[in-house]
């Protein structure tokens, strides 16, 4: 699995847009980029996945440049409830069994 690098922590205020960047210089052609969110005292949950360009859902947007060596998770107008750890993972899609390997993630703290 491609190694990922993301900031250890970020701070924001309610109502702001938050962008968390993940570097994955060794991403392979068949790798997808996936983000998980973990609230305190809970297990991680899937929030978004993409291959290239831009993906948007009701929770977040994912921006992936043409070279795919990085990606940016964008959270619009964050609230206190968005305080969580965000994990970036890179790995192939649709290849059968896949172990999920987490890094330390980015700890986002949203303040009033």
User: Footprint of another protein on this chain (CB under 8 A)?
Assistant: 32, 34, 36, 41-46, 49, 87, 89-105
Between the alpha carbon of residue 7 and those of residues 2, 23, 86, the distances in Å are 17, 10, 10
Quote the least distance from Cβ 15 to another protein, whole Å: 27
Strand segments, DSSP code E, in the chain are 9-13, 18-23, 31-38, 45-50, 53-56, 61-64, 70-75, 84-92, 106-111
Quote the least distance from Cβ 108 to another protein, whole Å: 14
Q: Are 50 and 71 in contact (CB under 8 A)?
A: yes
With respect to another protein, which residue has the nearer C-beta, 78 or 87? 87
Quote the least distance from Cβ 45 to another protein, whole Å: 7
With respect to another protein, which residue has the nearer C-beta, 13 or 102? 102
Instruction: Give Dmax over CA atoms of the chain in angstroms.
Output: 43
Strand partners, 20: 73
Quote the least distance from Cβ 38 to another protein, whole Å: 8
With respect to another protein, which residue has the nearer C-beta, 17 or 101? 101
With respect to another protein, which residue has the nearer C-beta, 25 or 104? 104
């Amino acid at each position: 699995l491609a190694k990922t690098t993301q900031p250890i922590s970020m701070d924001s205020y309610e109502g702001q847009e938050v962008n968390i960047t993940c570097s994955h210089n060794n991403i392979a052609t068949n790798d997808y980029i996936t983000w998980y969110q973990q609230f305190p005292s809970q297990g991680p949950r899937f929030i978004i996945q993409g291959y290239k360009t831009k993906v948007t859902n009701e929770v977040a947007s994912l921006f992936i440049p043409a070279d795919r060596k990085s990606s940016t998770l964008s959270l619009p107008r964050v609230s206190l409830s968005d305080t969580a750890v965000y994990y970036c993972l890179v790995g192939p899609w649709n290849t059968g069994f896949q172990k999920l390997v987490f890094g330390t993630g980015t700890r986002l703290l949203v303040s009033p």
